[in-house]
Chains A and B, each alone.
Chain A
Amino acid sequence: MVKITALQKRYGQGAVILDDINLEFEKGEFVSLIGPSGCGKSTLLKLIASLSPVTSGSLVVDGMTPENAREEMAFIFQEPTLLPWRTVTRNIELPLEVLHTKWDKREEICARTRKLVGLDHVPDHYPRQLSGGMKMRVSIARALSLSPKILLLDEPFGALDEMTRDRLNEQLLAIREQQKFTAFFVTHSVAEAVFLSSRIIVLAANPGRVYQDIRVPFAYPRSAETRESPEYQRCVAEVTKVLRAVNPDHP
């Protein structure tokens, strides 16, 4: 699905952000990118999204350049990035409006994705009337409205409290059971990464490079109970250890 070969990234003549990245991802994988700040995990996500150009090496998305594959991808930002002058429904249908999708089709997709994220009861609310968690759900619904093959998430739940974050993680996996997208998820939280992912890429900083490629051993579907299982907790401990090794300044 995504193949990265000898990739290097630097901004202008500045320091090398990512160096010699070689990775290959299959369709349907849920990949978390984790590592100390400055390791370039968000940059890697932006490169896949073609929001930033590759300096050298190659990056192929579904057999295409990232730019040409953009229609197959959706990006969920750290902030909900909702348009405050639009209602929940109008925010969700924004990508469809840009594509000139027919009105009745728009309506139908909107209703479906709204239900999917559990926002059926607030179709005409404005963003300022919603909690942080609800805003994020609108953002997810908007991304899903185009039924993307690849979902790119840049620390989407970082600003939320732990309860809301856990709940949204569970919801995200439940949605994935239905929509079957491939996901790339940037996070700081080991627990979140282990809970969500089938694979965790640990990056090292200065310059950003792949430190370890970890397969998460237990299967989907996962639920809140998964967090109590010994194998989950063992995996969290293991990844935490790796992350400490890569980031010795901050034990």
Chain B
Amino acid sequence: MNFLKHNLRWYLPVLTGALILFLWILVKELFGIRNFILPSPLKIAQAAIAERHVLFQSAMITLSGASLGFVTAAIAGILGSMVMALSGNLRLSLYPYILILQMTPMAIFAPVLVIWLGPGLPAVTVITFLICFFPIVANTTQGLISVDKNMVDLFRMINADRGQEVRLLRLPHALPYFLTGLRIAGSIAMIGGITGDLFAGNASGGVGGLGFMVLVYNAQLKIPALWAAGFTACLCGFLFVSVVIALNWFLLHKWHDSIAKSDV
């Protein structure tokens, strides 16, 4: 009994997964749904194995675009938030335009980017960057400016200069906020990568990114392979989020309450 209790967090999600698979097969068999509308899990697994080389290669292409965009967004996010934290007037002037970047659908940016950069990795990177930048810059700025007034007074009392205040107080205080932004960005970076593939991908050597392969499989009516590509994207997304969660744990577990209290 104890074993069951202690490993709840592992076997409960597995159990849910098994239940979903069971319902999937049940519904498909019960209503006789055809393969091109809803392929069986087995068919998808077979397609994934058959196409494994292609899927692996295209996952790598998408992942490189997504991670490049994600990493540059993280760096630009930190720098941008430090600029934004300098003054309230600066924030007022810049914020609407950062919002506009975020609000404009990528489907509109993408063709412009292809005109400027041509299809391929740079365009995919920029699209991911544009999607990831906002949550990082917004959260980190919040962290930099929401330092307790007494803390700032403390630093004044010990005659700390502006640089010390930023390095010893504001940046560490903003770290959990930055990581929250990073977590949101991590969960949408793959969306950026795939959107990038769809609009700005190219297929040098016959294989493109996952978004590109979705178009190809669709045209070829390889529906189970299409689903397999979808699941591969899903897996890559998980990979992203787990890296960020690991980083989050590594940087915060010693001192931040969020790790001790939350269960994810």
* B130-169, CB < 8 A from A: 148, 150-151, 153-160, 164, 168-169
One digit per residue, 1 when the CB lies within 8 angstroms of any chain B CB and 0 when it does not, for chain A 56-99 equals 00000000000000110111011101011110000000110111
A128 at the interface (CB under 8 A from B): yes
Assess whether B172 is in contact with A85, with CB atoms less than 8 Å apart. yes
- In the complex, whether B203 has a CB less than 8 A from a CB of chain A is no
The reply on A110 being an interface residue by CB < 8 A is no
Is the contact region of chain A dominated by helix, strand, or loop, or is it mixed?
loop
A75 & B154 in contact (Cβ 8 Å cutoff): yes
CB distance from A11 to the nearest CB of B (A): 14
Known: A77-B153, A81-B154. A98 touches B159 (CB 8 A): yes
Is A183 interfacial (CB 8 A cutoff)? no
Interface size bracket, B side:
20 to 34
Contacts of B157 in A (CB 8 A): 49, 51, 70, 73-75
Please state if B168 and A94 are interface contacts (CB–CB under 8 Å). Answer: yes
**Which of the 9-residue segments B9-17, B19-27, B42-50, B253-261 touches chain A?**
B253-261
- How many residues on the A side are at the interface (Cβ–Cβ under 8 A)? 24
A128 and B153 in contact, given A71-B159, A98-B159 (Cβ under 8 angstroms): no
Secondary structure at chain B's binding surface: helix, strand, loop or mixed? helix
Give the residues in chain A near B158, CB-CB below 8 Å: 94-95, 98-99, 146
CA distance A79 to B152 in the complex (A): 13
Given A75-B153, A126-B254, A126-B255: A85 and B175 within 8 A (CB)? yes
What residues of chain A lie closer than 8 Å to B169, measured between beta carbons?
83
| B255/A77 in contact, CB under 8 A | no
Q: Determine whether the beta carbon of A84 is less than 8 Å from that of B255.
A: yes
CB within 8 A of A51: which of B153, B164, B168, B257? B153
CB of A127 closer than 8 Å to a CB of B: yes
Residue in A70, A73, A98, A126 whose Cβ sees the most chain B Cβ within 10 Å:
A98
**Chain B contact residues, CB within 8 Å of chain A:** 148, 150-151, 153-160, 164, 168-169, 172, 175, 254-257, 260
- Given A126-B254, A127-B255, verify A70-B159 contact (CB < 8 Å): yes
15 example contacts (A-B, Cβ-Cβ < 8 A) are as follows A51-B156, A51-B157, A75-B153, A75-B154, A77-B150, A77-B153, A78-B150, A81-B150, A81-B151, A83-B169, A85-B254, A85-B255, A94-B168, A95-B158, A128-B256
* CA–CA, A74 and B154, complex, Å: 9
Rounded to whole Å, the gap between the CB of B157 and the closest CB of chain A is 5
List B contacts of A98 (CB < 8 A): 155, 158-160, 164, 168
Chain B residues closer than 8 Å to A74, beta-carbon distance: 157
What B residues does A127 contact at CB under 8 A? 255
Q: In the assembled complex, which residues on chain A have CB atoms less than 8 Å from the CB atom of B172?
A: 83, 85
Chain B nearest CB, measured from A12 CB (Å): 17
Q: Closest approach, in angstroms, between the C-beta of B178 and any C-beta of chain A? A: 13
9 A-B pairs with least C-beta separation: A95-B158, A126-B255, A75-B157, A77-B150, A98-B160, A85-B255, A85-B172, A81-B150, A98-B158
Closest CB of chain A to B140's CB: distance in Å?
16
Q: Write out the residue numbers on chain A whose beta carbons fall within 8 Å of the beta carbon of B160.
A: 98
Residue pair A84, B256 in contact (C-beta under 8 Å): yes
Tell me whether A128 and B260 are in contact in the complex, defined as CB-CB below 8 angstroms, given that A98-B164, A98-B168 are known contacts: yes
A85 / chain B contacts, CB cutoff of 8 Å: 172, 175, 254-256
- Known contacts being A75-B154, A78-B150, A85-B175, is A128 close to B168, with CB within 8 Å? no
Of all chain B residues, which has the CB nearest A129?
A: B255
What's the nearest-Cβ distance from chain A to residue B12, in Å? 29
